[in-house]
Structure 1
Amino acid sequence: MKILVIDDDDAVRKFISITLKRENYTVFEADNGKAALLVLQEHRDIAIVITDLIMPEKEGIATIMEVKQQYPAVKIMAISGGGNVSSENYLVLADALGANATLRKPFSGQELLMSLKFMQ
């Protein structure tokens, strides 16, 4: 299964990617929503997008809306550590916009994999 990980924090993106690769997922990475949409255009067989919500260029909420519109079969997991507003508020909004799962940062590799299994 192919998964696209979108996060502007290199450490978080690498942590997620390594965790998924250890479970034999094929992983693509992007550091913002704009770059992620280009990856989705090139790899139309991506099944799941894991996206941070607060990012430069194109943030996660706009990315979720665009992915849902252009690639309705792709499942989405929204992740957030918050910002000026609590992460729960962002995650509730992501859920309302069609995210299939949400996960609050920080999370463990085990929590990530468990959330992912519930999406499949």
Structure 2
Amino acid sequence: MARILLIDDDDVVRTVLCALLVRSGHTVIEARDGEEGLDLFPRIVPDLVITDIVMPKKSGLEVMQALREKKPCVKIIVMSGGDRNGPGDNLQAATLIGATSVLAKPFAVAELLAEVNEVLAS
């Protein structure tokens, strides 16, 4: 299966998503924030990056921009529960910057796994 870099500052969300992805046969490397994710990226060379948007140190949008500079073809799924305006603005910005796919939190397990499979197959 795939090597996935999962970046989310919420420990519970990250742990649950990691378990789901591992159970689906993927290898998952976890990062607690965008800065840690960018540090891990060149060492693990993932097939897919899944990142939250609203995080301390570096946002998911900053992570996406940096990854696009390093490896333009990297597949990136961006997820967000949003800020005070909801997830729409953040996810629209991610799409404009070049996210491969976006997911609004909360999402169903089946939705995440379907999106991961679709992105990896593209």
TM-score range, shorter chain: over 0.9
Q: Is the 8 A contact 1:47 1:73 kept in 2?
A: no
Deviations 1:21-56 (A, max 9, x none): 001100000011110011112112x11000000000
Deviations 1:67-118 (A, max 9, x none): 1110222100000001122201100100110000000001121110011122
| 4+ long deviations beyond 4 Å | none
- Corresponding residue SS for 1:51: strand
Q: Counterpart of 2:5 in structure 1: which amino acid?
A: L
- Corresponding residue SS for 1:67: helix
Q: Which residue of 1 aligns with 2:118?
A: 118
Q: Which residue of 2 aligns with 1:73?
A: 73
Q: Where do 1:1-120 residues align within 5 Å?
A: 1-44=2-45, 46-120=46-120
- Corresponding residue SS for 1:68: helix
Q: Counterpart of 2:27 in structure 1: which amino acid?
A: T
TM-score, normalising length: structure 1: 0.95
Which consecutive residues of structure 1, in runs of 5 or more, have no partner in the other structure?
none
Give aligned-pair identity as a percent: 36
Equivalent residues, number: 119
Which consecutive residues of structure 2, in runs of 5 or more, have no partner in the other structure?
none
- Corresponding residue SS for 1:114: helix
Q: Measure the CA separation in 1 of the matches of 2:88 and 2:19.
A: 26
Q: Counterpart of 1:12 in structure 2: which amino acid?
A: V
